[in-house]
Structure 1
């Protein structure tokens, strides 16, 4: 997921450079914090992540709890920033629609308020604060907000915000002067963020049904989902910007093919013989299956023949290029 996130972000920036579109808030907001939970998971392996607490040394367990405390702060920021990036993208693309611009600002303000409230709740989860990583289970049970309540406060609002962000562009896209298949394709691209919503639901369900109090071993699956969620959001948000990039690549590809075909025609001009197909079969008087050698001549550099209608008018964009064949009996 870390590799995919880096590639998605690099392609996003490359797309902006290739299409000569300036980087804006939607690009800058998607870059930070998303891959930090995954990096923390790698670091936490050295501190006992994936092993039962009973097999982890006390100093490693304190370090693990401290890193988990820091990780949860960055996790919230990763979720918030990709949502803000999507909203900034909506303002950039659909900014002419006043209602979607205003809705983007309103939802953006709600996301910022949510993430600030969560960050404050996480920072001051315990009293005193260092009980979050130094305290034992009994001390945390009496002086800290439970991990389950923290996870619910994280997951439930983010699902609500994701659904709001997903349905916002549907009305605008459907009103565009496009074919139905193009509209459905555009809506499908914007709906990729539904993957993040599904991951949030799975993560919330796992939190509600979990009764394991082993921080290092029992939270492995939850930690994996927590690392995947912001990275998936980053990838989905970046894919929305690849439209002009893919169009530019297609144009470059067509130009390359056209240039190669021009070189081919120049090197095979003057009616040179290009292809020889040998048709072998018993001869007959009707020449239906006669033994013929078919030689196909290549195109010359002559001007194509343009046919006209019976009234002498040339049909619009109608060009007929004739192929010349020489057939002789063997």
Structure 2
């Protein structure tokens, strides 16, 4: 039976927890935009969820089969093969995932801020850079060794690129792009004609996207902790941030769409507070209501007229007065007026 190290257990717990959080956020966003509003950015996000869970499987295999956290000298040949396979496949998935998420976020920005010409051009430039980063990194990762099988079978004849140098290059370029993407919404938000409260909520939602940028920065920094002579023992930090970054990126991509909950909640709370001040703690259809009663008296004249009276008295006749009625009105929780059922009676 394969031994799982403490690093391996921690990796599984962290990756699975963050994958669940990312899934909940993504599904919530898709539900918000479900009614005929789904765009290409939403479909890319939905596809990213598949890649997130494939990465979670890869993290589990790396911990269980690849000997993560164990000294490389203690690993069996089959564990070493799994170790290098779980470096290779998740790195392809990570690159594809991060590149697609960048494009998805930029597409969302284009829909929101596309009416500003300068911002639109900035978004197009970042899309081009992100697509170029994705294609170039993906190509190098796939063909990092020749033949490709040498990736997980180091004893084969052939050659490989300097993997550590490549990881440094991709990590640095990645976090630079992340910070550039984060800068897109900052200026347009403060030019929107919104209330100060809503601006704060929206800006805060976008600003939380810096979490993903911080994750990519940390990933770049911990690349230096990999020891090529003992990769299984030293790979935990670099691997865990490779799994953390895309899940945090998904959460960050969803946060701006959650500002609706905060602003709607604040508006409902303010409306409910105003209603209580005006009408008391209750509503017209609740016991102990503080609703006001408005009594309105209506006089309707009905004439009884015959031909003789009309001719002799110039249109006179007997007059009958209808009964008066009263209604109670008050504010419902949704802010509308409500008439109780007992006042909905025919007046004729």
TM range (shorter): 0.7 to 0.9
Instruction: Choose the corresponding residue for 1:4, options 15, 21, 34.
Output: 21
Count of matched residue pairs:
270
Contact 2:202 2:259 in 1 (8 A): no
| TM-score normalised by L of structure 1 | 0.73
Instruction: Choose the corresponding residue for 2:45, options 30, 35, 43.
Output: 30
How far 1:150 moved relative to its partner? 2.0
Change (3 A) 1:203 1:53: same
In structure 1, the gaps of 5 or more residues are 269-273, 275-297, 305-330
Larger relative contact order (C-alpha < 8 A, sep ≥ 6)?
Answer: 1
| Aligned position for 2:153 | 134
Q: Is residue 2:37 matched to residue 1:46? A: no
Contact 2:201 2:259 in 1 (8 A): no
Single out whichever of 175-184 and 229-238 deviates more from structure 2.
Answer: 175-184
| Aligned position for 2:32 | 15
Distance 2:192 2:264 in 1: 22
| Aligned position for 1:189 | 205
The DSSP-based 3-state class of the residue aligned with 1:88 is: helix
How far 1:183 moved relative to its partner? 3.1
Q: Is residue 2:107 matched to residue 1:116? A: no
Q: Pairwise mapping of residues 196-215 of structure 1 onto structure 2 (< 5 A)?
A: 196-211=212-227, 213-215=229-231
Change (3 A) 1:212 1:126: closer
How far 1:190 moved relative to its partner? 1.1
Distance 1:229 1:223 in 2: 10
How far 1:204 moved relative to its partner? 1.4
Change (3 A) 1:108 1:35: farther
Q: Is residue 2:294 matched to residue 1:303? A: yes
| Aligned position for 1:70 | 89
Contact 2:44 2:104 in 1 (8 A): yes
Contact 1:159 1:200 in 2 (8 A): yes
Single out whichever of 172-181 and 193-202 deviates more from structure 2.
Answer: 172-181
How far 1:93 moved relative to its partner? 0.8
| TM-score normalised by L of structure 2 | 0.69
RMSD: 3.0
How far 1:37 moved relative to its partner? 2.7
The DSSP-based 3-state class of the residue aligned with 2:152 is: helix
Distance 1:28 1:252 in 2: 32
Contact 2:282 2:290 in 1 (8 A): no
Contact 2:198 2:263 in 1 (8 A): no
Instruction: Choose the corresponding residue for 1:172, options 181, 188, 194.
Output: 188
The DSSP-based 3-state class of the residue aligned with 2:231 is: coil
